[in-house]
Amino acid sequence: MRRRDLLAGAAAMPALAAQQYASRTRGLPRLTIKEVKVIPTSAGRGYQWVFVKVITSEPGLYGLGSASNVNAAFSVINLIEKHYAPFWVGKDPDRIEDLWQSTNVHAYWRNSMIHNNALSGLDMALWDIKGKRAGMPVYDLLGGKARDGVSLYAHADGRDMQQVEDNVRKYMEEGYRHVRAQMGGYGGGGMIAPGKGSRPASGFQGAVFDEDLYVDTIPKLFEHLRVKLGREVKLLHDVHEHLTPTMAVEFAKRMEPYHMFFVEDILPPEQIDWFREIKKVTTTPLAMGELFTSPREWVPLISERAIDFVRNRVSQTGGITAAKKTAALCEAFGVRTAWQEGGDNDPVNQLAAYHVDYSIASFGIQEENHFPPLVHEMMPGTAELKGGYLYGNDAPGLGIDINEATAAKFPLQPPPGGDTWTTVRGVDGGLVKP
């Protein structure tokens, strides 16, 4: 081909590309965000779910995102309706990165938990819209499947070692390769019974946490499990942040013989600088992140290789856009992901995590969370759990929808007042931070 022909060909390319883009987008004018609807629901189970529905200028095209916050749902609703929806309406939903960045600084102060929920809700809805537009599931837009399945870990608990063992076995029989083992619920293994122990006169009389008791009891549980179950099952444990720093070092060392998949939340977020010290003296793998809201928390821990797994909640840290960037950072430093999915989480957040899990090289594990039949009915496309794997679907976008009439039948209820599981106390009545 002569040089002149080549140049003529190159000149024709932009016109051809524009033509192709127009045909892919069916010749429709540029999309705009027409309306932002907030859909709160308790889904018949006392959930505190807040969904964001981003409705576009193309008839019938909308996206769904999760802005749920179990502790501040009403504030999230207000924030979106009064402050963010007016900012988002009229914008181009195709520009996910730009909308993410501009939303993140819209309130000037960033990385508050409530702002992050709103940002995550928008972000997931925009990826959902882009997937529907492209006719592809979101994991395909993110680079396609990097594995054939999304592994889950199950939650086993029990009154005593025998019951924990029985419950771990049940999950193993179902096909789970990873099981988190706890004993006696939240803080279990370290709780002194109500009224017992040496307490101040007229002090708190409920169950209280004692870290020496905990650090003695839990390694014995895992010794039992390894003797009875062998080395094949991958075992996890959650400390729920209740230890003081040096006891956390001690605990991680004592857990070493039991070959943990990971020990989670060994310290509260205020003490994350201690992770470096723990990492230097033990091979027990460490997981942290469900309380994180800012990159200033997870970036140093990942880049200094001070943790093995990052456990950010996708809807608490900026949605799919933030999760895929965090996963890329993890890949560079040999850290893996284990996005948090506590029982209060919703099916949209679970699927957002799933699409990221599928498409990243640094995937580690996904926390199990299952929903009652009413939720599967109310939210068609809700992921299924089978044999230790999470199954979404290949529908374009996130692959989930919501029946708004059903959701409206179960309005949000303000949570009851008073102390909650976050206000664990010690024997002297002092707070033990989660």
Given the rule CB under 5 A, which residues bind Mg ion? 238, 264-265
Q: What are phi and psi of 152, to 5 degrees?
A: -120, 155
Q: Please, what is the Cα angle at 78 between 74 and 83, to 5 degrees?
A: 155
Least distance from Mg ion to the Cβ atom of residue 291, Å: 8
Cβ proximity to Mg ion, 115 vs 242, nearer residue: 242
Token pair belonging to 337: 């992901």
Query: Are the beta carbons of 96 and 44 closer than 8 angstroms?
Result: no
Cβ proximity to Mg ion, 80 vs 181, nearer residue: 181
Cβ proximity to Mg ion, 353 vs 398, nearer residue: 353
**Which of 115, 224, 237, 240 does the annotation list as catalytic?**
240
Least distance from Mg ion to the Cβ atom of residue 364, Å: 15
Q: Tell me which residue of 160, 250, 241 sits closest to 212, measured CA to CA.
A: 250
Least distance from Mg ion to the Cβ atom of residue 280, Å: 23
Q: Tell me which residue of 146, 138, 189, 139 sits closest to 164, measured CA to CA.
A: 189
Least distance from Mg ion to the Cβ atom of residue 265, Å: 4
Cβ proximity to Mg ion, 210 vs 265, nearer residue: 265
Least distance from Mg ion to the Cβ atom of residue 399, Å: 27
**Which of 106, 155, 186, 376 does the annotation list as catalytic?**
186
The CA–CA distances, whole Å, from 130 to 87, 124, 136, 285, 397 equal: 20, 10, 8, 37, 7
Token pair belonging to 211: 């870290």
378 C-beta neighbours (distance < 10 Å), count = 23
Q: Is 207 helix (H, G, I), strand (E, B) or coil?
A: coil
Name the helix (H) or strand (E) containing 322: helix 319-333
Give the ranges where 83-198 is alpha helix by DSSP (H).
Answer: 85-88, 96-106, 113-134, 138-141, 161-174
How far does CA 347 lie from the centroid of its chain? 11
The CA–CA distances, whole Å, from 67 to 49, 84, 124, 240 equal: 8, 12, 9, 24
Give the ranges where 53-112 is alpha helix by DSSP (H).
Answer: 73-78, 85-88, 96-106
Residue 106 known to be catalytic: no
Least distance from Mg ion to the Cβ atom of residue 240, Å: 6
Residue 355 known to be catalytic: no
Cβ proximity to Mg ion, 85 vs 255, nearer residue: 255
C-alpha to C-alpha distance for 322 and 113, rounded to whole angstroms: 14
Cβ proximity to Mg ion, 117 vs 340, nearer residue: 340
Give me the amino acid identity at 424.
Answer: V
Across the strands, what pairs with 41?
49
Catalytic residues: 186, 240
